[in-house]
Amino acid sequence: MKKGFGLRFQQLMTLILTTVIIILIVFYGYRPVSYNLSVGSVCSTDIYAPRSFVDTYQTEYNALVAKNTVNPVEIRSETESEDNVTRIQNFFTLVRQTRELRIDENGVPIENFDQEFESLKVNLEELLGNVPSDNDLHTFISMSSSAFNLIEDRSISITELIMMDNVSNSASLNDAIDAHIDSFSEANPSYASYASTMKNVLVLLLSPNSVYDEVATQEAAENAYLTALNESVMVDKGTKIISAGEVINDHSYQILVDLELIRSESFDAVILVRIAVYELVLAVVMLIYIATVHKNDFSDMRITYALVVTFIIPIGASVYLTDMSTLLIVTLFFATICASYIGIAAGIMLSLIEMLMMWPLYSFDSEFVFVNVIGILICAIWSGNKKRMYNSAAQIILPAAFCVLSAVCYNWLLGSTVNVFIESCVWIGVSAAFSIIIAIGLMPIYDLVSNAVSPVRLIELSQPGHPLLKRLFMEASGTYHHSMMVANLADSAAEAIGADALLCKVAAYYHDIGKLENPKFFTENQAEGVNPHDDKTTEESVAIITKHTEDGVKLARKHRLPDPIVRIIDEHHGTTYPAYFYNKAVKQAEEQGLPAPDVNAFRYKGHIPATRESAILMIADTCEAAVRSSKLEDPDSIEALIRKLIKSKIDQDQLISSGLSFDDIEKMIEAFMHVYAGVFHERIQYPE
């Protein structure tokens, strides 16, 4: 309990310290150079925008201009419209009354009509405020009754139609009158001679029917202001914002404030708080992910410390690398190492969090995120794929090529210039490749510090020239050949279920190195007819047999084999017992009239398999030994024996912590049978 608490405390403190270090690094790299300037002071150097930003001063200025230049809003007035119609109606009413006075009671026109005519003009002036020309009035008075009735009807209709629209000024009113008069002339050609008279009266008497709307005008001005604010004035990164010798005015000072380039302790504190909150959110997400999915992978603090250093290095390097370009892909350094040791999922998730943590250093560049996401996915999947043969060249070239391809797609979508295309591709391709190269080059150091296992280390350990394998071949050749066969079985089974095939294969080479302490006590190394167990008691034989796992762990640690291989050596027999010697002891006890011995005294002192790889080794080791000793060659008999052996392991609770499913076991059995089909295939009978 105390050990577990101490480990959790170490992990928590490591995470806290790591987060603090990252916050300080990002704050140091993100905080721009500041200047001691104020309005009215003279700038002594050229100042360029360290990032793209919104010019709030110019944006506000443009918004105020838009607000103050909004045209007044005028709306149609029903009252004004009705007044215009009434004015035309009154005009024709007065003219009609005057026309009636022109004819006497006998129906003869009055010769002296001047007095009535002048009276009409006076009445029009008083009622309407405007008087048409004498010619127009004479035309209306002298036209026939049918013509007058038509002109009156059409004039009122035209007025009503025009007044249905919002007529805001005289120009639009005159245009509307012209249009309707033209239509009238075309529709009534016999009365076209009166068109100009109608037009003159309408132009004289009608007025626009719109009125100023103060509320609508204020709303329009406010909308124009908000619209202009939303259309922010952007200034690109690298733009010269102030020249040397320039006097700082309100505008330039506001730009410096927006970019946080004014020297102020309060500004630094605000930036630090913002960075701290941003990084803490990401750190909490990372903690939840690790505690939920990869808790056991970080139980070894050596691995944890090594990964922490690997995690921090790209962030720290970015502080200085961003001066060269914001498109340097350094996250692949951590993605390569993390995926190789912890797995694909961890490599992707933790690398994405690392990328977001360093994003402020890259001025929140969207292309940086897009290219990194593609690169991290490809790099982690390739580095953490346990089913393939390790290929350093492909591991470097493939992610770098995908990063370049993503940069091409991004810039093509934006329609970037050729120079931008070339610059992006060169920086991204070179930095991605170098990140992976450095990661691969540092893996041996990582292996040395953490004693973890990488593909490079496994390939090195698989070479026959390793001292332990050479000893095994020379001193225990039977065990050596047994290990080679177990390696073939384990490799095939791991490939079938998606486990780490390379780890299973290499661990199989070393799983029985403990037998080097007493090689002749194991059947595969004994000469025919010579069995040293004949000179030992059952208890002594069992002690020697079961001790080979403990001896194997000691030898493995002495030769600094990686911890995963040491764990497999310890777990490949679990807590089972040598059935032959136990049954022999039971038989001896019966012959002596004694109770059956305690089976726990015969068990191996190791632990049950805690990973799929350990369980695969256990099953492959048991099956290889049993099939070889049974001398079976019939496939059906071999399969039946394998199923019986696996069932025995399940009954003894040896696989409960391994993570193997029944589907995995079926795939493993099928893989074993493919191997044995190759071993026991029929051979051609050669002539003597």
Q: Give 602-641 as a DSSP string.
A: GS-SS----SHHHHHHHHHHHHHHHHHHHT---HHHHHHH
Q: 354, 311 in Cβ contact below 8 A?
A: yes
Query: What percentage of the chain reaches a pLDDT higher than 70?
Result: 92
Least confident of 124-128, 178-182, 452-456, 680-684: 680-684
Looking up tokens 């329009």 gives: 220
What are the boundaries of each domain within the chain?
2-28+266-452, 36-55+236-261, 74-212, 458-679
12-28 pLDDT per residue, tens: 888 889 999 999 999 88
Pairing verdict, β 240-242 and 74-76: unpaired
Do the domains spanning 36-55+236-261 and 458-679 agree at the CATH topology level? Answer: no
pLDDT higher than threshold 50 for residue 347: yes
How much is the pLDDT for 333? Answer: 92
pLDDT higher than threshold 80 for residue 677: yes
Return the structure tokens found at 233: 């004035």
552, burial (CB in 10 Å: exposed 0-12, middle 13-18, buried 19+): buried
If you average pLDDT over residues 523-540, what whole number do you get?
Answer: 76
Q: 49, 241 in Cβ contact below 8 A?
A: yes
Q: Which of 183-187, 382-386, 683-687 has the highest mean pLDDT?
A: 183-187
If you average pLDDT over residues 373-379, what whole number do you get?
Answer: 93
Q: 37, 254 in Cβ contact below 8 A?
A: no
pLDDT higher than threshold 50 for residue 1: no
Q: 338, 347 in Cβ contact below 8 A?
A: yes
Residue 537: pLDDT band by 50, 70, 90 thresholds? confident
DSSP for residue 659:
-
Q: Tell me if residue 242 falls in helix, strand or coil.
A: strand
pLDDT higher than threshold 50 for residue 185: yes
pLDDT higher than threshold 60 for residue 3: no
pLDDT higher than threshold 80 for residue 506: yes
Question: What element of type H or E holds 234?
Answer: strand 234-235
Which CATH number does the domain 36-55+236-261 belong to among 3.90.105, 1.10.10, 3.30.457, 2.40.170?
Answer: 3.90.105
If you average pLDDT over residues 326-330, what whole number do you get?
Answer: 84
Q: 383, 347 in Cβ contact below 8 A?
A: yes
If you average pLDDT over residues 311-340, what whole number do you get?
Answer: 87
Q: 58, 233 in Cβ contact below 8 A?
A: yes
- How many Å separate Cα 382 from the centre of its chain? 19
40, burial (CB in 10 Å: exposed 0-12, middle 13-18, buried 19+): exposed
- How many Å separate Cα 350 from the centre of its chain? 12
pLDDT higher than threshold 60 for residue 569: yes
Residue 681: pLDDT band by 50, 70, 90 thresholds? low
Establish how many alpha carbons lie within 13 A of residue 279's alpha carbon, considering only the half-sphere containing its beta carbon. 27
How much is the pLDDT for 419? Answer: 85
* Mean of pLDDT over the chain: 85
Class of 458-679 in CATH: mainly alpha
Query: What percentage of the chain reaches a pLDDT higher than 90?
Result: 24
DSSP for residue 169:
S
Question: How far from 235 is each of 264, 389, 410, CA to CA, in Å?
Answer: 23, 50, 21
DSSP code per residue over 472-508 = HHHH-HHHHHHHHHHHHHHHHHHHHHTS-HHHHHHHH
How much is the pLDDT for 111? Answer: 65
Residue 619: pLDDT band by 50, 70, 90 thresholds? very high
Residue 572 dihedral angles phi and psi, to the nearest 5°: -70, -15
